[in-house]
């Protein structure tokens, strides 16, 4: 009876163990449970044999017991082998601890993640803020550009207006001077006719006619100056440009001014060897020399003989014409800034119209050149005219 109970217990235990082994998920324990189950089963089997054949001996019986015992022993041996594996299997406390640690790590990770998310949010906020700023700045810029464009457009149209007004003004001066010429000539003609019709020998009349003649010729001269100014305003056409010899033009000027040069006993000396010709409009070069030389004659120093020296030289990209006199000079500090203004005069002891230097400046400006003036009051004046040096048109120089 005792045997029977033990067998039952063994088999039950083995059953439990096998069940457990079947249910366990980790391999280590499944294996261990299975081994225990096997040993228990073997134990149960031996006891079962004892119970079955109590007191009976026999060959088979012994062999079976031996086999069961051997199997149990093998199981025990295998168990021993598995011990190291079993040691590695953490205990519950260890597991709890590990679990806690894991939980903590998890928490930390969550915290880190939270921080990360916050940082990300902050970053995103910043990006959004700065992109909003960028958009505002961009809009501001666009507005400024729009404003500038508008201003530029206004400038262009203003500039166009100015150009048009300037052209109108030039036209006005030209047509006014042309249309007034006729009536002035008529007056002169009528004065002459009256003089012819009147009986001669009346000194009163003679004086009146002299004054009339003076006035009429003064109007006439002024109109001619105006016409000259309006002519100079217009840009020179390419067809009028050519290589012009300084010597030739100077000769022409000398012929035209022969009487005044003679009267003033002016001595002119010229040396154009450094640059004998310039690519320019002949009319304009004539106008330049005529105005410069007649200026020197007008503003000469009566105490000494007038000497006017003309020369050319090459300076960087310029061809420089120098016209120097020993006249009365001009106080540049006082008058310099108005020197080239239209209708400005700084002397009243001689006849003048106030257009000569203006014409010189305009001619040089129109041809992308420049004018410089040096003067010492009481000693003389030097004009330097800078012409653009058109080397390609100049050809070989002698």
Local structure of 285: helix, strand or coil: helix
Q: How far is the CB of 244 from other proteins (least distance, A)?
A: 16
- Angle 333-335-338 (CA atoms, 0-180°, nearest 5)? 125
Q: How far apart are CA 196 and CA 210, in angstroms?
A: 14
Which of 100-108, 120-128, 178-186, 247-255 is the region at the interface with other proteins (rule: CB under 8 A)?
178-186
For the bound state, the minimum distance from the C-beta of residue 193 to other proteins, rounded and expressed in Å, comes to 6
Q: Answer yes or no whether residue 106 interacts with other proteins by CB under 8 A.
A: no
- Each residue 191-210 as x (binds other proteins by CB under 8 A) or -, in order, gives --x-----------------
Q: Is 158 in the site for other proteins (CB under 8 A)?
A: no
- Site for other proteins contains 178 (CB under 8 A): yes
Q: Does 363 bind other proteins (CB under 8 A)?
A: no
Q: Position of tokens 């230097």?
A: 357
Instruction: Compare residues 230 and 294 and give the one whose CB is closer to other proteins.
Output: 230
**Residue 176 interacting with other proteins (CB under 8 A):** no
By CB under 8 A, tell whether 235 contacts other proteins: no
Report if residue 186 touches other proteins, rule: CB under 8 A: yes
Q: How far is the CB of 360 from other proteins (least distance, A)?
A: 21
In sequence order, the 6+-apart residues with CB closer than 8 A to the CB of 141 are none
8 A C-beta contact, residue 327 and residue 301:
yes
Nearest residue (CB) to other proteins, 59 versus 237: 237
Q: Does residue number 336 form part of the binding site for other proteins (CB under 8 A)? A: no
> How many CA atoms are closer than 13 Å to the CA of 213, on its beta-carbon side?
10
Residue 263 CA to residue 40 CA, distance in Å, equals: 157
Site string for other proteins, 56-85 (x = CB under 8 A): ------------------------------
Q: Determine if 378 is a binding residue for other proteins (CB under 8 A).
A: no
The smaller minimum CB distance to other proteins, of residues 83 and 193, is found at 193
Q: Which residues contact 97 (CB under 8 A, 6 or more apart)?
A: none
How do 307-315 and 370-376 pair as beta strands? unpaired
DSSP code per residue over 291-336: HHHHHHHHT--TTS--EEEEEEEEETTEEEEEEEE-S----HHHHG
Output 181 or 370, the one with its CB closest to other proteins.
181
Q: Is 190 a binder of other proteins (CB under 8 A)?
A: yes
Question: Taking the CA of residue 177 as centre, how many other CA atoms within 13 Å lie in the half-sphere pointing to its CB?
Answer: 17
**Residue 189 engages other proteins in binding (rule: CB under 8 A):** yes
> Please, which residue, 107 or 234, has the CB nearer to other proteins?
234
Pick the binder of other proteins from 2, 57, 91, 182 (CB under 8 A): 182
- Distance between CA atoms of residues 110 and 103, nearest Å: 10
Q: According to the binding rule CB under 8 A, does residue 185 interact with other proteins?
A: yes
Question: What distance in Å separates the CA atoms of residue 366 and residue 360, rounded to the nearest whole number?
Answer: 10
Q: Residue 1 or 239: which CB sits closer to other proteins? A: 239
Tokens of 273: 């060897």
Rule CB under 8 A: which residues touch other proteins?
Answer: 178, 181-183, 185-186, 188-190, 193, 227, 231
């Amino acid at each position: 009876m005792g045997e029977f109970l033990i067998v039952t217990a063994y088999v039950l235990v083995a059953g439990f163990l096998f069940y457990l082994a079947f249910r366990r998920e980790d391999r280590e324990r499944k294996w261990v449970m299975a081994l225990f189950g096997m040993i228990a089963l073997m134990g149960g089997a031996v006891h079962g044999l004892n119970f079955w054949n109590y007191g009976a001996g026999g060959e088979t019986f012994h062999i079976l017991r031996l086999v069961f015992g051997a199997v149990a022993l093998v199981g025990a041996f295998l168990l021993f082998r598995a011990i190291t594996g079993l040691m590695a299997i953490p205990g519950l406390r260890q597991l709890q601890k590990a679990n806690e640690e894991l939980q903590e790590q998890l928490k930390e990770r969550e915290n880190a993640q939270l921080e990360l998310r916050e940082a990300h949010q902050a970053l995103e906020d910043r990006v959004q803020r700065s992109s909003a700023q960028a958009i505002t700045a961009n809009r501001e810029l666009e507005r400024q550009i729009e404003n500038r464009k508008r201003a530029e457009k206004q400038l262009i149209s203003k500039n166009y207006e100015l150009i048009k007004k300037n052209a109108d003004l030039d036209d006005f001066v030209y047509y006014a001077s042309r249309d007034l010429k006729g009536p002035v000539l008529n007056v002169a003609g009528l004065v002459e006719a009256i003089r012819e019709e009147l009986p001669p020998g009346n000194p009163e009349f003679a004086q009146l006619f002299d004054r009339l003649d003076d006035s009429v010729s003064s109007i006439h001269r002024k109109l001619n100056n105006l016409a000259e100014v309006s002519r100079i305003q217009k840009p020179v056409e390419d067809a009028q440009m050519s290589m012009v010899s300084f010597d030739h033009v100077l000769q022409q000027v000398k012929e035209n001014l022969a009487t005044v040069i003679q009267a003033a006993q002016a001595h002119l000396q010229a040396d154009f060897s450094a640059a004998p010709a310039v690519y320019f409009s002949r009319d304009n070069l004539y106008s330049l020399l005529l105005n410069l030389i007649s200026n020197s004659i007008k503003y000469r120093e009566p105490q000494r003989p007038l000497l006017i020296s003309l020369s050319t030289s090459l300076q960087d990209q310029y061809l420089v014409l120098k016209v120097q006199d020993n006249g009365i000079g001009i106080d540049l500090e006082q008058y310099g800034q108005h020197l080239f203004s239209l209708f400005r005069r700084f002397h009243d002891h001689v006849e003048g119209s106030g257009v000569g230097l203006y014409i010189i400046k305009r001619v040089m400006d129109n041809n992308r050149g420049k004018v410089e003036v040096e003067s010492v009051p009481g000693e003389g004046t030097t004009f330097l005219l800078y012409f653009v040096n058109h080397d390609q048109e100049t050809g070989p120089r002698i």
